[in-house]
């Protein structure tokens, strides 16, 4: 799992806009994200570098917390599904943002003889499977 | 101690990170990477912990697929499984770097929002 914590010099509400509105996301994320902010809603990501991902929104608490799960849909399935979470907390200098991303399935190499298609199916299953998503 | 099969449950990579979260386990892994396969008794000689505690840590590392073990007479020798470690650390390095870039860009982006 990776974890990063930074303080952004804006209010939680402004930071939330930057983190969740597709036009704002395009300004810093390195790609286009399409989503509706509803739990269970689909996520589509098209990276500037060609990386394409699908996903699902898992938790939405405006200006507080966002969690989504995503997995690659391109030809490069070497990376599996992972879960991303944003936590926003008011801070003297603005808003403290904690980003975490953790893998929720073995890497393609760990899947051994699985075909690319199998591992994509597995990613979708691992992401949407309630008992995994809830952990 | 059974030989470590590569775990195939959905959170296998998570298990690797959990195993690596403990400093003693990281040192043991480091030791085994440097010196090659060793027994729990040999490893315990260099530590201020009991052989029993070392065996427990080796068990956690084996369960995460980071070590494999071979019985040699009455002793079991533990060795590092390099691919597993490489998978987990490569993922962390790559994904971590991506977020470092994004968060730097986000900081610039919100700076422009305020003005």
**pLDDT tens for residues B33-91?**
777 889 999 999 888 889 999 999 999 999 888 899 988 788 899 998 877 777 777 77
Chain A, chain B: beta-carbon pairs less than 8 Å apart: 94
pLDDT of residue B26: 84
Say what percent of chain A tops pLDDT 70. Answer: 73
Query: Cα torsion at A105, A107, A110, A115 (round to 10°)?
Result: 100
Distance CA A135, CA A6 (A): 25
Contacts of A13 (CB under 8 A, 6+ apart): A63
Q: Does B35 touch chain A (CB under 8 A)?
A: no
B65 closest CA partner among B53, B55, B78: B78
pLDDT band at B32 (very low <50, low <70, confident <90, very high): confident
Of residues A104 and B103, more confidence is placed in: B103
Nearest to B110 among A4, A9, A110 (CB): A9
pLDDT of residue A105: 56
Give the minimum alpha-carbon distance from A69 to chain B in angstroms, rounded to a whole number.
14
Q: Which of A1, A29, A100 to mutate to test the interface with B (most CBs of B within 10 A)?
A: A1
pLDDT digits (tens, 9 = 90+) for A40-81: 899 999 999 888 898 899 999 999 999 999 988 865 544 678
Average the pLDDT over A85-104 and give the result: 94
Q: Which of A13, A32, A63, A107 to mutate to test the interface with B (most CBs of B within 10 A)?
A: A107
Of residues A82 and A85, more confidence is placed in: A85
- Judge whether A19 and A12 are in contact, CB under 8 Å: no
Contacts of B92 (CB under 8 A, 6+ apart): A1, A2, B17
The yes/no answer to whether this complex scores an ipTM above 0.85 is: no
pLDDT of residue A84: 95
Q: Which residues of B touch A19 (CB under 8 A)?
A: 106
Give the minimum alpha-carbon distance from B106 to chain A in angstroms, rounded to a whole number.
5
pLDDT of residue B33: 79
Average pLDDT, chain A: 81
Distance CA A99, CA B97 (A): 13
Of residues B9 and A122, more confidence is placed in: A122
pLDDT above 80 (res B10): no
Q: Does B107 touch chain A (CB under 8 A)?
A: yes
Instruction: Identify the sign of the CA torsion B44, B49, B55, B60.
Output: negative
CA of B65: which chain A residue's CA is closest?
Answer: A110
- Asked if the Cβ–Cβ distance from A9 to B105 is below 8 Å, we say no
Lowest average pLDDT, out of A88-92, A119-123, B81-85, B102-106, goes to A119-123
Distance CA B58, CA B47 (A): 13
pLDDT of residue B99: 93
Q: Does A8 touch chain B (CB under 8 A)?
A: yes
- Asked if the Cβ–Cβ distance from B105 to A14 is below 8 Å, we say no
- Asked if the Cβ–Cβ distance from B114 to A107 is below 8 Å, we say no
Nearest to A2 among B99, B108, B111 (CB): B99
Print the SS3 string covering B72-86: ECCEEEEEECHHHHH
The listed range with the strongest mean pLDDT (A23-27, A113-117, B11-15, B97-101) is: A23-27
Average the pLDDT over A89-97 and give the result: 96
- Judge whether A43 and A22 are in contact, CB under 8 Å: no
pLDDT above 60 (res A123): no
Tokens standing for residue B96: 């971590």
């Amino acid at each position: 799992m990776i974890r990063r914590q930074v303080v952004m010099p804006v209010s939680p509400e402004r930071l939330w806009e930057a983190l969740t509105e597709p036009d704002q996301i395009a300004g810093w994320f390195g790609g286009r994200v399409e989503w509706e902010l509803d739990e269970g809603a689909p996520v589509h990501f098209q990276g500037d570098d060609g990386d394409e991902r699908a996903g699902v929104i898992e938790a939405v608490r405006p200006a507080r917390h966002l969690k989504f799960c995503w997995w690659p849909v391109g030809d490069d399935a070497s990376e599996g599904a992972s879960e991303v979470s944003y936590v926003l907390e008011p801070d003297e200098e603005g808003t403290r943002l904690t980003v975490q991303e953790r893998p929720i399935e073995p890497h393609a190499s760990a899947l051994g003889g699985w075909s690319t298609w199998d591992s994509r199916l597995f990613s979708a299953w691992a992401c949407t499977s309630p008992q995994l998503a809830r952990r | 101690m059974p030989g470590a099969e590569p775990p195939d449950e959905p959170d296998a990579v998570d298990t690797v990170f959990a195993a690596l979260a403990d400093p003693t386990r990281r040192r043991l892994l480091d030791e085994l990477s440097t010196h090659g396969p060793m027994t729990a008794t040999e490893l315990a000689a260099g530590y201020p912990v009991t052989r029993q505690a070392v065996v427990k840590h080796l068990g956690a590392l084996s369960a995460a697929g980071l070590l494999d073990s071979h019985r040699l007479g009455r002793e079991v020798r533990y060795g590092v499984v390099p691919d597993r470690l490489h998978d987990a650390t490569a993922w962390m390095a790559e994904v971590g770097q991506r977020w470092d870039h994004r968060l730097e860009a986000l900081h610039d982006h919100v700076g422009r929002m305020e003005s």
